Homo-oligomer: A and B are copies of this chain.
Protein backbone atom coordinates (compact mmCIF):
# COMPACT_ATOMS: atom_id res chain seq x y z
CA UNK A 1 0.00 0.00 0.00
CA UNK A 2 1.47 3.34 -0.95
CA UNK A 3 -0.06 6.77 -0.69
CA UNK A 4 0.99 10.14 -2.14
CA UNK A 5 0.20 13.53 -0.64
CA UNK A 6 -0.91 16.52 -2.74
CA UNK A 7 -1.00 19.86 -0.90
CA UNK A 8 -3.10 22.49 -2.67
CA UNK A 9 -2.54 26.24 -2.31
CA UNK A 10 -0.75 28.95 -4.26
CA UNK A 11 0.42 30.45 -0.94
CA UNK A 12 2.47 27.25 -0.36
CA UNK A 13 4.35 27.74 -3.64
CA UNK A 14 4.96 31.41 -2.93
CA UNK A 15 6.56 30.49 0.39
CA UNK A 16 3.99 32.50 2.38
CA UNK A 17 3.12 29.36 4.31
CA UNK A 18 5.46 26.42 4.90
CA UNK A 19 3.75 23.11 4.13
CA UNK A 20 3.96 21.41 7.53
CA UNK A 21 0.76 19.42 6.82
CA UNK A 22 2.47 17.07 4.35
CA UNK A 23 5.33 16.47 6.78
CA UNK A 24 2.89 15.55 9.53
CA UNK A 25 0.89 13.29 7.21
CA UNK A 26 4.15 11.66 6.04
CA UNK A 27 5.03 10.88 9.66
CA UNK A 28 1.60 9.34 10.33
CA UNK A 29 1.80 7.19 7.19
CA UNK A 30 5.26 5.95 8.18
CA UNK A 31 4.02 5.11 11.69
CA UNK A 32 1.17 3.11 10.16
CA UNK A 33 3.55 1.22 7.86
CA UNK A 34 2.19 2.81 4.68
CA UNK A 35 4.75 3.89 2.07
CA UNK A 36 4.76 7.51 0.94
CA UNK A 37 7.11 7.98 -2.01
CA UNK A 38 6.10 11.44 -3.21
CA UNK A 39 4.58 14.63 -1.91
CA UNK A 40 3.55 17.44 -4.23
CA UNK A 41 2.61 21.09 -3.74
CA UNK A 42 0.39 22.61 -6.41
CA UNK A 43 -1.33 26.01 -6.74
CA UNK A 44 -5.06 26.76 -6.91
CA UNK A 45 -5.29 25.96 -10.62
CA UNK A 46 -7.82 23.52 -12.09
CA UNK A 47 -5.67 21.90 -14.78
CA UNK A 48 -2.60 21.56 -12.61
CA UNK A 49 -4.50 20.10 -9.64
CA UNK A 50 -6.21 17.64 -12.01
CA UNK A 51 -2.90 16.60 -13.60
CA UNK A 52 -1.20 16.28 -10.20
CA UNK A 53 -4.04 14.07 -8.90
CA UNK A 54 -4.07 11.98 -12.09
CA UNK A 55 -0.30 11.38 -12.06
CA UNK A 56 -0.37 10.55 -8.34
CA UNK A 57 -3.28 8.17 -8.81
CA UNK A 58 -1.53 6.39 -11.70
CA UNK A 59 1.55 5.77 -9.56
CA UNK A 60 -0.05 4.99 -6.20
CA UNK A 61 -2.85 3.13 -4.44
CA UNK A 62 -4.14 6.20 -2.65
CA UNK A 63 -3.80 9.98 -2.63
CA UNK A 64 -4.41 12.39 0.24
CA UNK A 65 -5.17 15.88 -1.09
CA UNK A 66 -4.95 18.60 1.50
CA UNK A 67 -6.53 22.06 1.16
CA UNK A 68 -8.83 23.82 -1.29
CA UNK A 69 -12.06 22.71 0.46
CA UNK A 70 -13.06 26.18 1.73
CA UNK A 71 -16.04 28.25 0.62
CA UNK A 72 -14.37 30.66 -1.83
CA UNK A 73 -14.10 30.53 -5.62
CA UNK A 74 -10.42 29.58 -5.20
CA UNK A 75 -11.38 26.38 -3.43
CA UNK A 76 -11.79 23.95 -6.31
CA UNK A 77 -10.53 20.65 -4.90
CA UNK A 78 -14.08 19.17 -4.76
CA UNK A 79 -14.76 20.16 -8.38
CA UNK A 80 -11.47 18.79 -9.70
CA UNK A 81 -11.89 15.47 -7.89
CA UNK A 82 -15.34 15.11 -9.50
CA UNK A 83 -13.70 15.57 -12.92
CA UNK A 84 -11.00 13.00 -12.10
CA UNK A 85 -13.72 10.59 -10.91
CA UNK A 86 -15.77 11.37 -14.05
CA UNK A 87 -18.88 12.22 -11.99
CA UNK A 88 -21.06 15.24 -11.18
CA UNK A 89 -21.19 17.17 -7.91
CA UNK A 90 -24.33 16.53 -5.90
CA UNK A 91 -25.65 18.40 -2.91
CA UNK A 92 -25.33 16.74 0.50
CA UNK A 93 -28.35 17.83 2.57
CA UNK A 94 -26.72 16.79 5.85
CA UNK A 95 -23.79 19.14 5.21
CA UNK A 96 -26.19 22.00 4.47
CA UNK A 97 -28.01 21.30 7.71
CA UNK A 98 -24.74 21.27 9.60
CA UNK A 99 -23.61 24.54 8.02
CA UNK A 100 -26.89 26.18 9.09
CA UNK A 101 -26.36 24.85 12.60
CA UNK A 102 -22.80 26.20 12.82
CA UNK A 103 -23.71 29.66 11.54
CA UNK A 104 -26.94 29.71 13.58
CA UNK A 105 -25.10 28.91 16.80
CA UNK A 106 -22.80 31.88 16.12
CA UNK A 107 -25.85 34.07 15.47
CA UNK A 108 -24.72 34.79 11.92
CA UNK A 109 -26.33 34.34 8.51
CA UNK A 110 -24.54 31.90 6.27
CA UNK A 111 -22.95 33.49 3.17
CA UNK A 112 -24.24 31.73 0.03
CA UNK A 113 -20.66 30.82 -0.88
CA UNK A 114 -20.62 28.33 1.97
CA UNK A 115 -23.17 26.19 0.14
CA UNK A 116 -20.28 25.20 -2.14
CA UNK A 117 -18.99 23.15 0.78
CA UNK A 118 -22.09 20.93 0.58
CA UNK A 119 -21.25 19.92 -3.01
CA UNK A 120 -19.87 16.39 -3.00
CA UNK A 121 -18.68 14.30 -5.97
CA UNK A 122 -21.26 11.59 -6.69
CA UNK A 123 -20.13 8.32 -5.09
CA UNK A 124 -17.89 10.04 -2.55
CA UNK A 125 -18.62 9.78 1.15
CA UNK A 126 -18.10 12.31 3.89
CA UNK A 127 -15.33 11.80 6.43
CA UNK A 128 -17.04 11.55 9.81
CA UNK A 129 -14.88 14.02 11.75
CA UNK A 130 -16.10 17.51 10.89
CA UNK A 131 -14.64 20.03 13.31
CA UNK A 132 -15.00 22.98 10.92
CA UNK A 133 -17.30 23.86 8.05
CA UNK A 134 -15.39 21.96 5.35
CA UNK A 135 -16.25 18.24 5.31
CA UNK A 136 -13.51 15.85 4.29
CA UNK A 137 -14.22 13.41 1.47
CA UNK A 138 -13.40 9.80 0.72
CA UNK A 139 -13.59 9.32 -3.07
CA UNK A 140 -13.20 5.77 -4.43
CA UNK A 141 -11.91 5.48 -8.01
CA UNK A 142 -11.81 1.84 -9.13
CA UNK A 143 -9.78 0.05 -6.47
CA UNK A 144 -7.95 3.25 -5.61
CA UNK A 145 -9.03 6.18 -3.46
CA UNK A 146 -8.58 9.92 -3.10
CA UNK A 147 -9.03 11.43 0.38
CA UNK A 148 -9.68 15.17 0.51
CA UNK A 149 -8.98 16.89 3.84
CA UNK A 150 -8.98 20.60 4.79
CA UNK A 151 -5.74 22.61 5.00
CA UNK A 152 -6.55 23.83 8.54
CA UNK A 153 -4.10 21.70 10.57
CA UNK A 154 -6.33 20.65 13.47
CA UNK A 155 -9.20 19.73 11.17
CA UNK A 156 -6.86 17.85 8.85
CA UNK A 157 -5.25 15.97 11.75
CA UNK A 158 -8.58 14.80 13.18
CA UNK A 159 -9.65 13.40 9.82
CA UNK A 160 -6.31 11.76 8.98
CA UNK A 161 -6.05 10.10 12.39
CA UNK A 162 -9.73 9.24 12.69
CA UNK A 163 -10.56 8.04 9.19
CA UNK A 164 -7.82 8.21 6.56
CA UNK A 165 -5.14 6.11 8.26
CA UNK A 166 -7.57 3.42 9.53
CA UNK A 167 -9.15 3.19 6.04
CA UNK A 168 -5.73 2.90 4.35
CA UNK A 169 -4.74 0.18 6.77
CA UNK A 170 -8.03 -1.65 6.18
CA UNK A 171 -7.37 -1.46 2.43
CA UNK A 172 -3.85 -2.80 2.99
CA UNK A 173 -5.50 -5.85 4.59
CA UNK A 174 -3.98 -4.73 7.83
CA UNK A 175 -6.64 -5.25 10.44
CA UNK A 176 -4.40 -4.74 13.43
CA UNK A 177 -4.22 -1.60 15.51
CA UNK A 178 -1.04 0.43 15.91
CA UNK A 179 -0.46 2.41 19.10
CA UNK A 180 2.51 4.34 20.37
CA UNK A 181 3.63 6.30 23.40
CA UNK A 182 6.60 8.47 24.09
CA UNK A 183 9.07 8.69 26.95
CA UNK A 184 11.04 11.91 27.27
CA UNK A 185 14.54 12.01 28.69
CA UNK A 186 17.07 14.66 29.64
CA UNK A 187 20.73 14.61 30.60
CA UNK A 188 22.17 12.02 28.22
CA UNK A 189 23.05 12.02 24.50
CA UNK A 190 21.11 10.14 21.85
CA UNK A 191 23.96 7.65 21.40
CA UNK A 192 24.21 7.26 25.18
CA UNK A 193 20.50 6.48 25.47
CA UNK A 194 20.74 4.09 22.50
CA UNK A 195 23.65 2.31 24.18
CA UNK A 196 21.69 1.90 27.42
CA UNK A 197 18.86 0.35 25.42
CA UNK A 198 21.05 -1.82 23.13
CA UNK A 199 20.10 -5.14 24.76
CA UNK A 200 16.44 -4.19 24.83
CA UNK A 201 16.54 -3.24 21.13
CA UNK A 202 18.13 -6.62 20.29
CA UNK A 203 15.44 -8.36 22.30
CA UNK A 204 12.68 -6.49 20.45
CA UNK A 205 14.33 -7.27 17.11
CA UNK A 206 14.06 -10.96 18.03
CA UNK A 207 10.54 -10.95 19.45
CA UNK A 208 9.00 -8.26 17.23
CA UNK A 209 6.57 -7.28 20.00
CA UNK A 210 7.28 -3.55 19.72
CA UNK A 211 9.60 -1.07 18.03
CA UNK A 212 11.57 1.81 19.53
CA UNK A 213 12.53 5.03 17.75
CA UNK A 214 14.62 7.96 18.97
CA UNK A 215 13.70 11.55 18.21
CA UNK A 216 16.12 14.26 19.31
CA UNK A 217 13.78 17.16 20.02
CA UNK A 218 15.97 19.96 21.35
CA UNK A 219 14.44 21.58 24.38
CA UNK A 220 11.54 19.13 24.29
CA UNK A 221 14.03 16.52 25.44
CA UNK A 222 15.23 13.39 23.69
CA UNK A 223 12.14 11.37 22.90
CA UNK A 224 11.98 7.56 22.89
CA UNK A 225 8.89 6.35 21.09
CA UNK A 226 7.53 2.85 21.65
CA UNK A 227 5.14 1.48 19.00
CA UNK A 228 3.28 -1.82 18.93
CA UNK A 229 0.69 -3.48 16.75
CA UNK A 230 -2.00 -5.89 17.90
CA UNK A 231 -5.47 -7.14 17.00
CA UNK A 232 -7.23 -4.71 19.31
CA UNK A 233 -6.46 -1.28 20.72
CA UNK A 234 -6.52 -2.75 24.24
CA UNK A 235 -3.92 -5.36 23.35
CA UNK A 236 -1.68 -2.84 21.59
CA UNK A 237 -1.99 -0.41 24.52
CA UNK A 238 -1.05 -3.18 26.93
CA UNK A 239 2.07 -4.12 24.93
CA UNK A 240 3.12 -0.48 24.70
CA UNK A 241 2.52 0.11 28.41
CA UNK A 242 4.60 -2.93 29.35
CA UNK A 243 7.43 -1.86 27.05
CA UNK A 244 7.30 1.75 28.32
CA UNK A 245 7.77 0.34 31.83
CA UNK A 246 10.77 -1.74 30.71
CA UNK A 247 12.42 1.19 28.93
CA UNK A 248 11.69 3.59 31.78
CA UNK A 249 13.29 1.13 34.22
CA UNK A 250 16.46 0.93 32.11
CA UNK A 251 16.74 4.68 31.54
CA UNK A 252 15.94 5.34 35.22
CA UNK A 253 16.16 8.98 36.21
CA UNK A 254 17.01 10.23 32.72
CA UNK A 255 13.26 9.79 32.12
CA UNK A 256 11.31 12.88 33.08
CA UNK A 257 7.95 11.73 31.73
CA UNK A 258 6.25 8.64 30.34
CA UNK A 259 3.15 10.73 29.59
CA UNK A 260 4.62 13.07 26.93
CA UNK A 261 4.57 16.08 29.25
CA UNK A 262 6.98 19.00 28.96
CA UNK A 263 9.66 19.48 31.63
CA UNK A 264 7.76 22.60 32.77
CA UNK A 265 4.58 20.58 33.36
CA UNK A 266 6.47 17.85 35.19
CA UNK A 267 8.20 20.26 37.56
CA UNK A 268 5.04 22.29 38.21
CA UNK A 269 3.16 19.06 39.01
CA UNK A 270 5.89 17.84 41.37
CA UNK A 271 5.89 21.17 43.22
CA UNK A 272 2.08 21.36 43.36
CA UNK A 273 1.78 17.81 44.77
CA UNK A 274 4.23 18.75 47.52
CA UNK A 275 2.53 22.09 48.25
CA UNK A 276 5.70 24.04 47.40
CA UNK A 277 5.92 27.48 45.78
CA UNK A 278 8.68 28.54 43.39
CA UNK A 279 10.63 31.77 42.96
CA UNK A 280 13.17 32.49 40.22
CA UNK A 281 16.19 34.73 39.78
CA UNK A 282 17.15 34.93 36.14
CA UNK A 283 20.05 36.71 34.53
CA UNK A 284 21.20 34.80 31.42
CA UNK A 285 17.72 33.44 30.68
CA UNK A 286 16.19 36.91 31.04
CA UNK A 287 12.69 35.76 32.00
CA UNK A 288 12.55 32.70 29.78
CA UNK A 289 12.15 30.21 32.67
CA UNK A 290 9.21 32.21 34.05
CA UNK A 291 7.75 32.72 30.61
CA UNK A 292 7.83 28.99 29.81
CA UNK A 293 6.33 28.09 33.19
CA UNK A 294 3.43 30.56 32.88
CA UNK A 295 2.51 29.15 29.48
CA UNK A 296 1.23 26.09 31.43
CA UNK A 297 -2.34 26.71 32.67
CA UNK A 298 -2.43 26.57 36.45
CA UNK A 299 1.18 27.75 36.90
CA UNK A 300 -0.13 30.42 39.29
CA UNK A 301 -0.70 27.76 41.99
CA UNK A 302 3.05 27.30 42.19
CA UNK A 303 4.97 30.18 40.65
CA UNK A 304 5.39 33.27 42.81
CA UNK A 305 7.42 35.15 40.21
CA UNK A 306 10.88 35.88 38.92
CA UNK A 307 13.43 38.60 39.48
CA UNK A 308 15.03 39.11 36.08
CA UNK A 309 18.27 40.69 37.27
CA UNK A 310 19.91 41.55 33.99
CA UNK A 311 21.95 44.46 35.35
CA UNK A 312 24.52 43.62 38.05
CA UNK A 313 23.15 46.31 40.38
CA UNK A 314 19.77 44.56 40.39
CA UNK A 315 21.53 41.40 41.54
CA UNK A 316 23.22 43.34 44.34
CA UNK A 317 20.35 45.66 45.36
CA UNK A 318 17.26 43.49 44.90
CA UNK A 319 18.57 39.95 45.39
CA UNK A 320 21.32 40.75 47.90
CA UNK A 321 24.12 39.18 45.87
CA UNK A 322 27.48 40.18 47.45
CA UNK A 323 29.28 42.74 45.28
CA UNK A 324 31.80 40.80 43.16
CA UNK A 325 31.84 38.67 40.00
CA UNK A 326 28.24 38.07 38.89
CA UNK A 327 28.93 35.04 36.71
CA UNK A 328 30.12 32.77 39.50
CA UNK A 329 29.10 30.02 41.85
CA UNK A 330 28.79 32.48 44.76
CA UNK A 331 26.57 34.82 42.79
CA UNK A 332 24.17 32.15 41.55
CA UNK A 333 23.87 30.73 45.07
CA UNK A 334 23.01 34.16 46.48
CA UNK A 335 20.57 34.76 43.63
CA UNK A 336 18.65 31.55 44.31
CA UNK A 337 18.44 32.25 48.04
CA UNK A 338 17.56 35.88 47.28
CA UNK A 339 14.71 34.73 45.03
CA UNK A 340 13.21 32.67 47.88
CA UNK A 341 13.49 35.62 50.25
CA UNK A 342 12.27 38.40 47.95
CA UNK A 343 9.49 36.37 46.33
CA UNK A 344 8.58 34.56 49.57
CA UNK A 345 8.84 31.12 47.94
CA UNK A 346 9.70 27.68 49.34
CA UNK A 347 11.91 26.76 46.41
CA UNK A 348 14.39 28.84 44.39
CA UNK A 349 15.97 28.54 40.98
CA UNK A 350 18.69 30.88 39.71
CA UNK A 351 20.70 31.21 36.54
CA UNK A 352 23.58 33.49 35.55
CA UNK A 353 25.94 33.22 32.63
CA UNK A 354 27.57 34.78 29.61
CA UNK A 355 25.28 34.93 26.58
CA UNK A 356 27.83 36.62 24.39
CA UNK A 357 28.76 37.95 21.92
CA UNK A 358 31.64 38.98 24.27
CA UNK A 359 33.11 37.32 27.33
CA UNK A 360 32.28 38.93 30.67
CA UNK A 361 34.62 39.44 33.67
CA UNK A 362 37.03 37.03 31.92
CA UNK A 363 34.40 34.27 31.77
CA UNK A 364 33.99 32.79 28.26
CA UNK A 365 30.77 32.92 26.25
CA UNK A 366 28.50 29.91 26.87
CA UNK A 367 29.40 29.54 30.56
CA UNK A 368 26.32 29.07 32.73
CA UNK A 369 25.96 28.79 36.51
CA UNK A 370 22.73 27.26 37.83
CA UNK A 371 21.35 26.90 41.36
CA UNK A 372 18.35 25.34 43.08
CA UNK A 373 17.28 25.98 46.67
CA UNK A 374 15.14 23.35 48.39
CA UNK A 375 14.52 22.81 52.11
CA UNK A 376 17.02 25.59 52.82
CA UNK A 377 19.82 23.83 50.94
CA UNK A 378 21.23 25.39 47.76
CA UNK A 379 22.97 23.21 45.17
CA UNK A 380 24.87 24.71 42.24
CA UNK A 381 26.34 23.50 38.99
CA UNK A 382 28.22 24.90 36.02
CA UNK A 383 27.86 24.10 32.32
CA UNK A 384 29.45 25.23 29.08
CA UNK A 385 27.07 25.22 26.16
CA UNK A 386 28.59 25.24 22.67
CA UNK A 387 25.43 26.78 21.19
CA UNK A 388 24.31 30.20 20.06
CA UNK A 389 22.70 32.77 22.36
CA UNK A 390 19.14 31.51 21.97
CA UNK A 391 19.91 27.79 22.15
CA UNK A 392 22.09 28.27 25.25
CA UNK A 393 19.16 29.95 26.99
CA UNK A 394 16.73 27.22 25.98
CA UNK A 395 19.06 24.43 27.10
CA UNK A 396 19.68 26.24 30.38
CA UNK A 397 15.95 26.34 31.11
CA UNK A 398 15.39 22.60 30.70
CA UNK A 399 18.69 21.72 32.42
CA UNK A 400 18.04 23.71 35.59
CA UNK A 401 14.41 22.51 35.74
CA UNK A 402 15.75 18.95 35.47
CA UNK A 403 18.07 19.59 38.44
CA UNK A 404 15.09 20.66 40.52
CA UNK A 405 13.09 17.63 39.33
CA UNK A 406 15.80 15.24 40.45
CA UNK A 407 16.08 16.92 43.83
CA UNK A 408 12.31 16.81 44.38
CA UNK A 409 12.23 13.10 43.55
CA UNK A 410 15.25 12.33 45.76
CA UNK A 411 13.80 14.30 48.67
Contacts and interface: CB of A to CB of B under 8 A. Distances in A.
Contact of A294 (B17, B19, B52, B287): B287
Interface size class of A (residues with CB under 8 A): 35 or more
A304 B310 contact: yes
B310 A299 contact: yes
Contacts of A288: 287, 291
A41 interface: yes
A154 to B, nearest CB: 12
A48 B40 contact: no
A286 B294 contact: yes
Nearest to A280: B308
A16 interface: yes
Given A18-B18, A295-B390, A355-B294, A39 B13 contact: yes
B306 A287 contact: yes
A342 interface: yes
A356 B297 contact: yes
A297 B30 CA distance: 42
Interface stretch (A73-81, A181-189, A199-207, A313-321): A313-321
8 closest pairs, A vs B, by CB?
A287-B287, A15-B27, A286-B294, A287-B290, A306-B308, A287-B291, A15-B23, A15-B26
Contacts of A40: 38-41
Contact of A287 (B27, B52, B282, B389): B282
Given A287-B289, A297-B389, A23 B12 contact: yes
A377 interface: no
Given A39-B40, A293-B286, A344-B313, A23 B18 contact: yes
A80 B293 CA distance: 49
Nearest to A51: B59
B41 A38 contact: yes
A222 to B, nearest CB: 14
A48 B35 CA distance: 13
Given A18-B20, A40-B41, A314-B343, 16 more contacts: A13-B38, A15-B28, A15-B30, A16-B215, A38-B41, A282-B287, A286-B291, A286-B299, A286-B303, A287-B291, A303-B310, A304-B310, A304-B314, A305-B311, A306-B308, A311-B343
A48 B295 CA distance: 44
A103 interface: no
